[in-house]
Structure 1
């Protein structure tokens, strides 16, 4: 167990919602959280400090319903984000898995972090020397395992000494990217009537889904846990993201669907999309629609048809288009149901994170009569 100082313990209790009482007991500070109380030694180096801190950890273990060693680590290292992986253990003896399964799961976790790191660190902000930054970040992540009724792995992500919520360090940005991408994939595979790849942000790649699939137990289930460093608050919640039984095959199917979607568009992207900018128009049929009412991903439609751009030859494309609002979305839905052609005028974009390539003009949608 990590060596704990009184200052670190007091900082942890304060951040966790405890309040120091004005009263003391045999010199120890009394901290309260509603009806609960714990004692903290008055200073480091006293003869009974270690015993009192062990008592405090045992009390917190009961209050927080998590192991004392985990609480002690959070106290001692306030700038470590944590992600964990668990899957049912099916081999004997308890707490062990087959070597091949364990290696495959560890490789999957490594690939998840590598892909998330490449997505974040190859962005414009970190473009210079991004490959070296990816290698450095991966080499700094720590791996721990536990023996229980589950195969469990815990990874610790260092955030550095100087941190800022306005400009989070690379480790936090990478783990947040992993969290967001995994959450989007989980939503896609957990619902029988989910829209599949049409609901995923563009950052989710076939490789990311394949890496997730390697984590699945024989029944296809697994969990990813996230706990954010107390020294750098995060808007994302602590908690466990559960992938239900059957998720393994569903993730592999999703990966193949994404790969097929990329293969379909790749030759055209290389030939027709390089340096494409400015006003464009697409004429064709609506193949799919997506509207996330509780997020920022609103009013998307996928159109297969002819793309026209200034000074460019006409090309056949399958593109996501962002409509200006609910009225236009309802019109596109009607056109989809009635198998009508649409023409959408707008601006080309390569910046949208939800696979969108055209931002429609306010009055850019027209429904055409079928020939």
Structure 2
């Protein structure tokens, strides 16, 4: 049981700061609501005379923090070893009383939860401003492993669970999985949910025309924005927060926000952003010829990053078009940047007022070699 307690704390944002082997470990976390630092001491020896009381102390702290009964927390701890990623969606409204949410509000929220994961699954396969209603094979595979868990108070919490395999499985046919580093498709989608929601939050805080359109490559879409707005509505809405929790047997993702929060004014911006995305008309199989004028490599991935190519998107418009590249294409972009040679890029072009992006790059090669 000590192992499950510590796994649960780690997944819930706690940090171990001190440990006395075979006796006890000190874990800390900041309470988001009050800003106070919380501390719990986890007993590590089942033979300790006060083991039960020490565990009860831990449960009491978690009970107050998570706003659910100690019994519910304990059941969640016992299920840690089942290996699942979780997404906690906490809705706070003035008209939620005693864990009861108005039926019409709750129905929209559950639909919003589903639509967020469908949009993220679609974006993981191919980012688009507006996703079609038909899911790709990869998206369907991810959704088959995604479930609704028991709701709870606080004010009203929806829990999405995805079963994550801890060992590599044979690759599924025609899923478009090209990564050398194995990662379950369920985990990929959960990561995309967190990344895309954070991108929507950032766009909602910016006062620029292309705030939403410039983030299509990371998963922002009309579908996702519409899904986020389903959690808000009416004067009773206060906020909605999204908190990911990661299975311990699969390496914990990096650079993923611990919590994404939307407030009423931000939801208004998200609605406006959704309309902008709805009006974007992509140009498939667009041929762009130009020179690489800027490169931004990812700090956590070698041979992967953003390239900016300056070229004509029509007969008179010389524009800078950004695109995500990896592997040989990224290496080629670096060479083209150094030699100042023209490149030919083929992909789906999204043109905003100020931002232009090439999505799903199919061809990236030297134009005159």
Structure 1-normalised TM-score?
0.63
C-alpha displacement of 1:118: 3.0
Q: 1:107 aligns with which of 98, 106, 111?
A: 111
C-alpha displacement of 1:360: 9.9
User: In 1, Cα distance between the equivalents of 2:42 and 2:253?
Assistant: 27
C-alpha displacement of 1:61: 6.3
C-alpha displacement of 1:108: 0.9
Computed over aligned residues only, the root mean square deviation of the Cα atoms, in angstroms, reads 4.8
Q: Does 1:216 align with 2:216?
A: no
User: In 2, Cα distance between the equivalents of 1:237 and 1:132?
Assistant: 24
Q: 1:190 aligns with which of 176, 194, 205?
A: 205
Gaps of 5+ in 2: 29-38, 128-134, 170-179, 300-304, 324-332, 351-355
Give the secondary-structure state (helix, strand or coil) at the position aligned to 1:239: coil
| CA deviation vs aligned residue, 1:113-147 (integer Å, no higher than 9, x gap) | 11222333579xxx995365144123xx2333222
C-alpha displacement of 1:298: 6.4
Q: Which moved more, 1:181-190 or 1:354-363?
A: 354-363
Give the secondary-structure state (helix, strand or coil) at the position aligned to 1:356: strand
1:92–1:129 CA distance, 2 compared to 1 (3 A): closer
| CA deviation vs aligned residue, 1:230-265 (integer Å, no higher than 9, x gap) | 333111345221123223332222122112112xx4
1:162–1:93 CA distance, 2 compared to 1 (3 A): same
Match of 1:31 in 2: 25
C-alpha displacement of 1:347: 1.4
- In the alignment, is the contact (CA less than 8 A) between 1:190 and 1:244 conserved in 2? no
Match of 1:8 in 2: 4
Give the secondary-structure state (helix, strand or coil) at the position aligned to 2:183: coil
Give the secondary-structure state (helix, strand or coil) at the position aligned to 1:321: strand
User: In 2, Cα distance between the equivalents of 1:128 and 1:87?
Assistant: 30
C-alpha displacement of 1:195: 3.1
C-alpha displacement of 1:208: 1.6
Q: Which moved more, 1:248-257 or 1:167-176?
A: 248-257
- Greater C-alpha radius of gyration: 1
Match of 1:306 in 2: 315
1:59–1:210 CA distance, 2 compared to 1 (3 A): closer
Q: How many residues align?
A: 303
- In the alignment, is the contact (CA less than 8 A) between 2:203 and 2:212 conserved in 1? yes
Match of 2:326 in 1: none
C-alpha displacement of 1:211: 1.2
If asked which structure has higher relative contact order (CA below 8 Å, sep 6+), I would say 2
Match of 2:34 in 1: none
C-alpha displacement of 1:204: 2.6
- In the alignment, is the contact (CA less than 8 A) between 1:321 and 1:360 conserved in 2? no
- In the alignment, is the contact (CA less than 8 A) between 1:216 and 1:247 conserved in 2? no
| CA deviation vs aligned residue, 1:155-204 (integer Å, no higher than 9, x gap) | 22221242699422122100111111111111111122463234213343
Match of 2:196 in 1: 181
1:213–1:320 CA distance, 2 compared to 1 (3 A): farther
User: In 2, Cα distance between the equivalents of 1:224 and 1:298?
Assistant: 31
Match of 2:353 in 1: none
- In the alignment, is the contact (CA less than 8 A) between 2:117 and 2:189 conserved in 1? yes
Q: Which moved more, 1:298-307 or 1:85-94?
A: 298-307
1:93–1:56 CA distance, 2 compared to 1 (3 A): closer
Q: Does 1:227 align with 2:245?
A: yes
Q: 1:154 aligns with which of 154, 159, 165?
A: 159
1:305–1:70 CA distance, 2 compared to 1 (3 A): farther
1:281–1:8 CA distance, 2 compared to 1 (3 A): closer
User: In 2, Cα distance between the equivalents of 1:302 and 1:218?
Assistant: 47
